[in-house]
Structure 1
């Protein structure tokens, strides 16, 4: 149930707080007062798309906050979806900024608008004129009957079975498509052979580049290695210089023992230098410029680079491509056997889908009889007792929604042919049919609050009173909030809020106020008589309220 709604800086609303009580509440007001903005704000906080154009002129952001109380059933539904109430309540808020940013929170925690939208059906349901049009779309009827029958699990089983069928069908189509590409497979075999002959090894190209660099500069390397050896061991080289230095230090150390340590260090350096010189000599002896090896290295590098140019740019890419086309050719060669296996799987999956569809269909048909009777009773109470209602099932190929199409049929009078709603129902009739459906589906729907946005469109007089009675009866099971322009509906409400536009500080601002007895009489009188409120319209309004109160005391709801 909606406990409170706070709207800030949206269109002509600067700040409005609405605290609806349980039961039946109405909101009324003149055209342009801001009734539609209330609905837009509720849609915004519940995750629907919202334009920055909603932000009030001069404000940097708009904010809507809604607090809901939850019963145990709704708590369970939300917890299954990762949303946990606090003390049986959940607080949803959304801020919209001029730069297009949107920030949503549930109980203060940041969430996405999609998350809020996913849980919205468990918190609040808005019925507008658009919903009447949905009744004309027969494709939506299957959802309504499944909602009435509580076919959630059966419908999910059908969807999963269909997804499995679709997956196998796609695999078969891909396999058949590959069978038609024999020429491509021949190309793959040629490429496999070429790559296999190349005998690629990761890291070989880098090794060959280093080897080629040495082979191409063997003479330069040899000359410099020889020079290095001469600097160490040639005449007047480093070896002779260190020997003379050691001799001099030895003579000096006779007189100062501290020099012995330096002498030892120098001896170690001389030993290291000897090792280095020995390695240089060995290296120089092994260094040889072999034209044949040079040509072989160049040829191998070119072979590797050719494969890389054709198949991927690197050794790793070439080998990955090799594995990819190898898998494809192996799959192609085994395609006939795979096709038989897939066809067997498809038959099994289709049988499972048919079984799931048949079970779902039986559940729907069982529920259809109950729905037809319940709708007829509701239509009778809405002054449409001559109408006949039926649910039609048309078989179709099993899919994610089962193996049939569902269509609601209606006839205005007994004996007449039942036809689709789009061919027979007027706007006012659609409103009452939708209200009948809402009343029937109320017990199956976990949502605690129903909002009706001008459900009275196209009706007046006796039909309007019947709708008022039905809404009041529905409010015994749900919190019902109705935006209306009809006094018959407003009179039946437990609370009446007035939406009006006032000038505050030179600017128009929408205000929402809970009406007391006197203010409510005046508003009902305005709704009855138009602009002028007269003693006659006030008296009529007072009589209307008395009759409504008497009905509620007697619990007299159609």
Structure 2
């Protein structure tokens, strides 16, 4: 339950801590006193978005903090608002997102305001009430997940089809390019090797002359460098017999002789291998033209052409991949459709079993709150649709995330009147009571510990108001109930009573909240009976209502 609500610098509330109790907690106050501010603060705990202008004038920040208790467990939800984007939300000092807060707090508080009445009139929300009563959330979520998965698989099939269509348009081009490049029999660095060989062939005569001349001077001719160096090597060896240090330099001359010999041999081999060959030269030129043509056509170098071949091969292999992926996805799609059909059928049957029980219980509560002549009916329909996802006994039905059911509440509030959709009821008082009856019935099956009611007394008075008050008090036996009311009959049923008042201190306006003692309650309820002018009669009536509460 909600143990306390701490509010600081929020609207007209400077700093207040409201300590709630179990059972029915009543909040009263004159119009404009600030009761809606408390609801606004509670809405922040429920995950509603904050408005920067809700920070009290002249202050830089606002704080709303709610403490919940469940046995020995304590939960602290805190929101800090500073008018900027870095507002803070925490649960037990752990920072959370607004979405996380909204989901978490929905298990702690169920709020029923005038906005909720309008929500209740919308037939699209009626199915949620039935599901909540039957605690069908797990089955509803599984059905919703299955529906979403089917939608995802359908989109996947569309994407695969689009890829296949795109591939078919390019398939012929891919095949042509792949065959053209494969037939060219390209290999890495081929263009560089051709360029190198062409350069050798073009300069074959020059190369032969140069290698012959170099070899001749180095090694072959009479008086060659090799021959001269050999003579000097012998002289150095002889000198070494007299000057020992010379010997180490003799080794260098021997090394030079070896290098000259090897170089001469290498150049001789080049000279032997280099021959100008017209056919080879023309063949290499033709090959070079082919390579240059392909490079120009595909706007890339030889490496790029080789990469293009690999890419085209991958693209062409995708055709088989598309077919395989499509078949696998179709299989998954059919399996999930079958799963959805099973879940939706089970969910539909569960709802239909609940309907008569809800109708009976709501009608019973309506009778207690002055609508004993009312008939309440829940229609659960399913509509055939040849394109529907769910198929049950060979029949396809219109399908949604919530299943195959269309649920709508019907009511007749007078004998002899036909049942009509709940949305067509004009009386605000009737709407308030029907909402209370529905919420009372649903709450009995709900585990939500705290229920908040506002405007539940709209359009009612007298005995009906008293009956509504007693219904709220009974609801308070199993749940903590917080109710804002203007009616003394309802206020008198509370176990805990708070008064909201507006004060002007200096040049500032403040909203104050105080918990009333027994004597103060008598006066507060008397004010609800006779207005600001309290009479002896209103005081007696107040005491009478409290003694009956």
TM-score (norm 1): 0.74
Written as runs of structure 1 = structure 2, the 5 A alignment for 1:138-537 is 138-167=123-152, 169-170=154-155, 181=165, 185-195=168-178, 197-198=180-181, 300=291, 303=294, 306-307=297-298, 323-324=314-315, 326-328=317-319, 331=322, 338=327, 342=330, 349-396=336-383, 397-399=397-399, 400-537=401-538
Tell me, what secondary structure is at the counterpart of 2:17?
A: strand
Tell me, what secondary structure is at the counterpart of 1:403?
A: coil
Structure 1: state its 5+ residue gaps. Answer: 72-86, 220-225, 227-233, 235-239, 241-246, 549-558
Tell me, what secondary structure is at the counterpart of 1:402?
A: coil
Structure 2: state its 5+ residue gaps. Answer: 203-209, 211-217, 219-228, 230-235, 276-280, 384-396
Q: Which residue of 2 aligns with 1:19?
A: 19
**Alignment partners' CA distance in 1, 2:140 and 2:361:** 23
Which range moves more in the overlay, 531-540 or 314-323? 314-323
Shift, 1:444, TM fit:
2.1
Shift, 1:149, TM fit:
1.3
CA contact (8 A) 2:503 2:509 kept: yes
CA contact (8 A) 1:357 1:398 kept: no
**Alignment partners' CA distance in 2, 1:120 and 1:509:** 29
1:93 aligns with 2:78: yes
**Alignment partners' CA distance in 2, 1:107 and 1:287:** 88
CA contact (8 A) 1:185 1:329 kept: no
1:345-370 deviations in whole A, cap 9, x for unaligned?
A: 66654444333322222211111111
Written as runs of structure 1 = structure 2, the 5 A alignment for 1:62-77 is 62-70=62-70
Shift, 1:300, TM fit:
4.0
Greater Rg over alpha carbons, structure: 2
**Alignment partners' CA distance in 2, 1:315 and 1:492:** 87
User: 1:329 and 1:448, CA in 2 relative to 1: closer, same or farther beyond 3 A?
Assistant: same
CA contact (8 A) 1:9 1:59 kept: yes
CA contact (8 A) 2:14 2:510 kept: yes
1:299-355 deviations in whole A, cap 9, x for unaligned?
A: 64773575468xxx99879855763564147636997xx49x93x766654444333
Shift, 1:502, TM fit:
1.9
Q: Kindly report the root-mean-square deviation, in angstroms, between the aligned alpha carbons of the 2 structures.
A: 4.7
User: 1:334 and 1:474, CA in 2 relative to 1: closer, same or farther beyond 3 A?
Assistant: closer
Alignment equivalent of 2:101, drawn from 116, 119, 123: 116
TM-score (norm 2): 0.75
CA contact (8 A) 2:81 2:87 kept: yes
Shift, 1:23, TM fit:
1.2
